[in-house]
Amino acid sequence: MRGFNSWSGRRRRTVAGAGAAIAVIAGFTAYNVASGDEGRPPRVDFVLGGGDDIYAKDDKQAIRGSYAGLAAAPDGTVTLFAQENDGMVMWQRRPSGAVKRTGITGMDSVTAEQAAVSPDGSVYLAAKDLWKVTPTGKAAKVVKGGCEKLDARTAASTFCTGRITGVAVAEDGSVYFGDQVVWGDVASYVHKVEGDRVELVAGRPPRDDEPYSRSNPAVQNGIDPAPGTKAGDVLVTDVFNSGWLALGKDGLYWRTGEGIVRIKDDGTLSPLVAASAPGRIAEAKGPFESVGRARDAEIPRPSSTGRVGDLTLLSGRDEVYYTDAHGAYKPSLDSAYRWQGASSATQKKLLEESSRGKLVHRVADGELSSVIAGVQAIAGSDDALYAAVEGRPDDAGKDPEDLSTAVVRVELPD
């Protein structure tokens, strides 16, 4: 396997982990309801959508349609996919503030679990299949999902897996995707696409009668790998809570269910979230306040809402951000986690009518904290965190354009 030394990113401090114990979620909920105005609420700035005019060119611009995908490039270009009545569209905002809307051809009614920007400006979407959308809006399927077992032939055109959930793109254009088999021999993997070839990077299938519990060293090493554990030797079985990727100069981060591991240049794993001692994780008292050592934390399984997690890396800040989908929250306007920064009536209305969303966590210098609640997805550039929010009025029907979608930049501590 080619090393990761071609990946972009500034020189990083050691990131010790990312994760959230169920105690963190419970503590967040209680504090969000009862704590009033204590703590410093997160501030957001709207960068796409939030207005009331679909034809406007400034902060009055509205984006109609349901949320379908979010990605951010290292330079801060933000891409939002939305589903409209007549098909999917791609909205992009450049660092200059220029906004462009592009209709998508060849792909419709797709919601990405994760998206990533290629150096050539194309965007890859992990949405059961792996899609590539060019800057002109032309979509094509790169790798197929929907198969009942892993068909591990090396040609991308014939490779097939069960479900593709994560994607990350390297500086040299190589594409890494997280995928899983959800029938029979359940397991999660990481593969790499280079040209027309697919290569296994991490994960293996279960052996006959092999246990799926953490008493199995192969399962335990997928969450809390022992020194020298090879990426291809672990069995990741929590498939509906795994598969998301983020890349940095020091390796590829892989969400493996209860934990997050880093695949290093030499093909071995190191723990990021390891569920080492979840009982040591304290209750959250406010945004960006440490609740303990991230390596001790455990990521809870998602609830039955159909939401999935996210994973992103801000290489310029040496920080990992992720969401968990165990609970569902609305952006709050009257608590310690209220979304400050909505300045116009339409922005405030969007937040008040928003769909319930996920809870975001940060890992910085090995410490874990909660950040903001009620997001549909997150994506990171070199030094900025973006979140998508979807407005869904009570009287919204099945028409996608009854909904509105926006992207905010979350203000981060210095």
Q: Sketch the domain layout of the chain as residue ranges.
A: 22-410
Q: Which residues lie across from 164 on neighbouring strands?
A: 128, 179
Residue 183 has pLDDT above 70, yes or no: yes
Half-sphere exposure of 202 (CA within 13 A, CB side): 39
Q: Quick one: pLDDT at residue 333?
A: 59
Please tell me the least confidently modeled range out of 104-113, 335-344, 394-403.
394-403
Question: CA 76, CA 63: separation in Å to the nearest integer?
Answer: 20
Question: CA 246, CA 225: separation in Å to the nearest integer?
Answer: 18
Q: Quick one: pLDDT at residue 32?
A: 37
145 touches 128 (CB < 8 A): yes
What is the rounded average pLDDT of the residues 132-147? 96
Where is pLDDT greater, at 90 or 400?
Answer: 90
Residue 114 has pLDDT above 70, yes or no: yes
The sign of the CA dihedral 299, 272, 68, 352 is positive
* Alpha helices, H only, 137-234: 217-220
What is the rounded average pLDDT of the residues 8-17? 33
Residue 305's pLDDT band, with cuts at 50, 70 and 90, is low
67 touches 77 (CB < 8 A): no
What is the rounded average pLDDT of the residues 270-292? 91
Residue 275's pLDDT band, with cuts at 50, 70 and 90, is very high
Burial class (CB in 10 A: 0-12, 13-18, 19+), 57: exposed
Question: CA 143, CA 132: separation in Å to the nearest integer?
Answer: 10
Where is pLDDT greater, at 232 or 307?
Answer: 232
Residue 5's pLDDT band, with cuts at 50, 70 and 90, is very low
Tell me the whole-structure pTM to 2 decimals.
0.89
Which phi and psi (to 5°) does residue 58 adopt? -125, -150
CATH top class, domain 22-410: mainly beta
Mean pLDDT of the chain: 87
Q: Quick one: pLDDT at residue 329?
A: 86
Longest dimension (CA), the chain: 60
Burial class (CB in 10 A: 0-12, 13-18, 19+), 232: middle
Please tell me the least confidently modeled range out of 46-60, 285-299, 329-343.
329-343
pLDDT digits (tens, 9 = 90+) for 156-165: 989 999 999 9
Burial class (CB in 10 A: 0-12, 13-18, 19+), 300: buried
Buried (b) or exposed (e) across 66-105, using 16+ Cβ within 10 A? Answer: bbbbbbbbbebbbbbbbbbeeebbbbbbeeeeebeebebe
Q: Quick one: pLDDT at residue 269?
A: 98
In this prediction, what percent of the chain has a pLDDT beyond 90?
70
Residue 104 has pLDDT above 50, yes or no: yes
Question: How far separated are the first and last CA of the chain, in Å rounded?
Answer: 38
Residue 36's pLDDT band, with cuts at 50, 70 and 90, is very low
